[in-house]
Amino acid sequence: MKAGFIAVVGRPNVGKSTLINKLVSEKVAIVSDKAGTTRDNIKGILNFKDNQYIFIDTPGIHKPQHLLGEYMTNIAVKILKDVDIILFLIDASKPIGTGDMFVMDRINENAKKKPKILLVNKVDLISDEQKEEKLKEIEEKLGEFNKIIFASGMYSFGISKLLEALDPYLEEGVKYYPDDMYTDMSTYRIITEIVREKILLKTRDEIPHSVAVEIINVERKEGKKDKFDINIYVERDSQKGIIIGKDGKMLKEIGVEARKEIEELLGEKIYLGLWVKVKDDWRKRKPFLKELGYVEEK
């Protein structure tokens, strides 16, 4: 038995959450094409061939523009010091840019001596010739790694090579979680993330970045469906109108899709009540961010 904690890091929207969901064969992290989808460090636990791999999905590391962004980057950088292995993701289909090099600088500042594996994700989008060009670009812009792996989180290509590369750096004789556990995230947190994902998938522009979700009440009565009341927070009245939609159509669609997935998670039918509230500039307000669990206590 061997086990280890692996920080999955990279700039926003390189496929970290998709990769972790594929690795553990469960949906532990919500996925969308919007940068900043992941806001917390989320553990995905894989038990494979007597080894336990604890992958930590992190928010995309970037230069923050508000207090929420600062929190997201800080927790992603902080985890670099606490894990056994750094798994750095880049997008095979895009040039290595300042965002990737910003992440590399944070790794070198906080985890220079830790084993570093580079996963070149979305390899299905490039040719063999482009792979060779990418290797040269990696050497020039990012430096050396213990291992470089070309993979596709979307299609599970390269997963076995990744696990082989991680294996030598796991700690022997330990096991941190039971075999049937695939995440340490609470059920209530998963429920709020499901609702937020449906909003991300159905809205555009500033809406996805301006949304927060909170369970405000859970009502349980014997012989009846459990009822979950959830607040959706936005920063502007115009954003509230977009999420509610004409005659409430958008909010109803979000609710129907979220409820179905929550029922699959819980294994039972529920009532889901969604309410849209305006909190001006909530991403810049520390007390409200604390309420939502987004600001760490020092």
Binding-site residues for GTP sit at 10-17, 57-61, 121-124
Q: What is the pairing mode between strands 2-9 and 51-57?
A: parallel
Six token digits for residue 154? 């979307």
Tokens of 194: 């499901």
Numbered residues of the known binding site: 10-17, 57-61, 121-124
Number of residues that make up the chain = 298
Cα 15 from chain centre:
9
Q: Which pair of structure tokens corresponds to residue 82?
A: 């606490």
Residues 47 and 58 sit within 8 Å (Cβ to Cβ): no
DSSP 152: B
d(CA 262, CA 191): 6
* Cα–Cα nearest to 196, from 53, 32, 55, 12: 32
Residue 148 · residue 138 · CB < 8 Å: yes
How far is residue 176's CA from residue 119's CA, in Å, rounded to a whole number? 25
